[in-house]
């Protein structure tokens, strides 16, 4: 059964460094998401991406964050200059359809644990 995959499973970085988290969505899916979960807190939406552009973003997704689909398979989240408070589990998800297209289940990856020191 197709799955969303994410690499790396764990990333440790120094404060101020750039990190890129990678996701491979399910191959025929068109709509992509990033969520994060700070330890002990709720899973929070960051951004959604459809038709090669950001569809929606939360207030968390500031100028330090960017997303890209550099090729036909990868979907990346870049944090330009990491802060201690960026330490969290980051989840990628994908769904078959986009907004206004009826219900489409979001399939989640296993997450990348980001630790900022």
Partner 1 sequence: AQTVTQSQPEMSVQEAETVTLSCTYDTSENNYYLFWYKQPPSRQMILVIRQEAYKQQNATENRFSVNFQKAAKSFSLKISDSQLGDTAMYFCAFMKLGNTPLVFGKGTRLSVIA
Q: For binding to partner 1 (CB under 8 A), which residues are involved? A: 3-4, 31, 33, 35, 40-45, 48, 56, 58, 91, 95, 97-111
Q: How far is CA 53 from the centre of its chain?
A: 14
Cis peptide preceding 76, ω within 30 of 0: no
Of 82 and 112, nearer to partner 1 (C-beta) is 112
Taking the complex as a whole, how short is the minimal distance between the CB of residue 8 and partner 1, in angstroms? 14
Q: Which lies closer to partner 1 via its Cβ, residue 17 or residue 101? A: 101
Min separation Cβ 53 and partner 1, Å: 16
Pairing of strands 19-24, 5-7: antiparallel
Please name which of 117, 104, 110 lies closest in space to residue 23, comparing C-alpha atoms. Answer: 110
Alpha-carbon distance 56 to 66, whole Å?
12
Q: How far is the CB of 68 from partner 1 (least distance, A)?
A: 19
Q: CB-wise, 56 or 68, nearer to partner 1?
A: 56
């Amino acid at each position: 059964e197709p799955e969303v995959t994410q690499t790396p499973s764990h990333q440790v970085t120094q404060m101020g460094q750039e990190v890129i988290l990678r996701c491979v969505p399910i191959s025929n899916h068109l709509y992509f998401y990033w969520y994060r979960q700070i330890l002990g807190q709720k899973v929070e939406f960051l951004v959604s991406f459809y038709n090669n552009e950001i569809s929606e973003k939360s207030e968390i997704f500031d100028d330090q964050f960017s997303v890209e689909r550099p090729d036909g398979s990868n979907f990346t989240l870049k944090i330009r200059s990491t802060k201690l408070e960026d330490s969290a589990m980051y989840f990628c998800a994908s769904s078959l359809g986009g907004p206004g297209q009826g219900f489409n289940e979001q399939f989640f990856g296993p997450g990348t644990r980001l630790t900022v020191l």
